[in-house]
Amino acid sequence: MSAHAEKHEHFAGSNKLFTSIWIWLVLLTVIEIVLAYRPMAIHFMLTILLGLSIIKAALIVAYFMHLKFERLSLILTIVPMLVICICLLFVFFPDSFRSHGLRYKFKETPPAPAAESH
């Protein structure tokens, strides 16, 4: 029995490590903001942004949320479950893209400005 000592819990990672992770996160954010002002194809931009977000999320999960220091089995339980479900949600998109061609087109009337009601 690995009897746990009451006072000192093990919490891997030094404050220095966490600070450097934080610096990385801030840096990646700055990159994102800079990217926003670079004209480029929207698909391209989206891919890069999502890529960066995934890296940031991974850093947060791995270090701040400490998953990297948990047992492999926990990681293998949580991560695939979530990844599969989120990937499945992407199956919605063909229908979104399709709807351009299928849209009923008509002349829209601009709404009355600044509705006060509601």
Partner 1 sequence: MGRALAVIIWILTLLSVSLFFVDKWWFPTAISSHAAALDRQFLITIIVVGVSFTAAQVGLGYMVWKYREDADRSRATYTHGSSKLEVIWTVVTAIIFIGLAVMGQSVWASLRFNDAPPGSYQVEVVGQQFQWNFHYPGTDKVFGRTEPNLIDDSALNFIGLDEADPNAKDDAVHTVLAIPAGRPVELLLRSKDVIHNIWVPQLRFKQDMVPGMVIRVHFTANTPGKYELACAELCGQLHFQMKSYLLVLPDDELGALTALPQDQFQTRMTELLAKYKLPAQN
Partner 2 sequence: MSGETHEAVHRHPAPTGFIRKYIFSLDHKVIGIQYIMLALVAVLVGMTMSVLMRMNLSWPGTNWPILGTLFPGGAPDGMMTPEFYLSLVTMHGTIMVFFVLTTAPQGGFGNYFLPIQIGAEDMAFPVLNMLSFWVTLVGFIVILSAIFFSGADSTVGPIGGWTGYAPLSALPNAGPGQGMGMDLWIISIAIFCVGSLLGALNFITTLLNMRTRGMSLMRMPLTCWAWFTTAVLALLSFPVLLGGGILLLLDRLAGTSFFIPGGLYLSGILSGTDERFPLHTGGSPILWQHLFWFFGHPEVYIAILPGMGATSHILSTFARKPVFGYRAMVFAIFAIGLLGFFVWGHHMFISGMSPYSAMTFSILTLSIGVPSAVKTFNWLGTLWGGRIRFTTAMLFAIGFVSLFVAGGITGLVLGQTSLDLPMHDTYFVTAHFHLVMGVASIFGMFAATYFWFPKMCGRLMNESLGKFHFWITFIGVYCIFVPMHTMGIVGMPRRFAQFTEYEYLKTLHPLVVFVSIAAIATVLAQIVFYFNLVWSIFKGKRAGENPWDATTLEWTTASPPPHDNFAGHLPVVYRGPYEFAVPGAANDFVMQTEPEVILQAVGSGREGTSGNGHDGHRH
Partner 3 sequence: MSTEARAAHFPAADWDGGVFPYRVGHRKLGMWLFIVSDSLTFSALLIGYSYLRASNVWPTPFPFYPSIVFSSVMTFCLLSSSLTMVFAVSASSRGDRAKARKWILGTIFFGLAFLVLHLIEWNHLYSEGLRPFSLPADWVTRYAAPDGTLPSPLFGATFFTITGLHMFHVFTGAIYLAVVAARLNKLKHEDVEISGLYWHFVDLVWMFVFPLIYIMTVDIGAH
Binding site for partner 1 (CB under 8 A): 99, 102-104, 106-107, 109
If contact means CB under 5 to 8 A according to the sort of partner, which of partner 3, partner 2, partner 1, none does residue 84 touch? partner 2
Cβ atoms of residues 56 and 28 within 8 Å: yes
Chain length of the chain:
118
> Which partner from the list partner 2, partner 3, partner 1, none does 47 bind, CB cut-off 5 to 8 Å by kind?
none
Q: What is the rounded CA–CA span in Å between residue 90 and residue 76? A: 22
Residues 3-42, mask of contacts with partner 2 (x by CB under 8 A): xx--------------------------------------
Nearer residue to partner 2 within complex by CB, 36 or 91: 91
CA–CA gap between residue 31 and residue 18 (Å, rounded):
20
Burial of 103 from C-beta contacts in 10 A (0-12 / 13-18 / 19+)? exposed
> Judged by CB under 8 A, does residue 99 bind partner 2?
yes
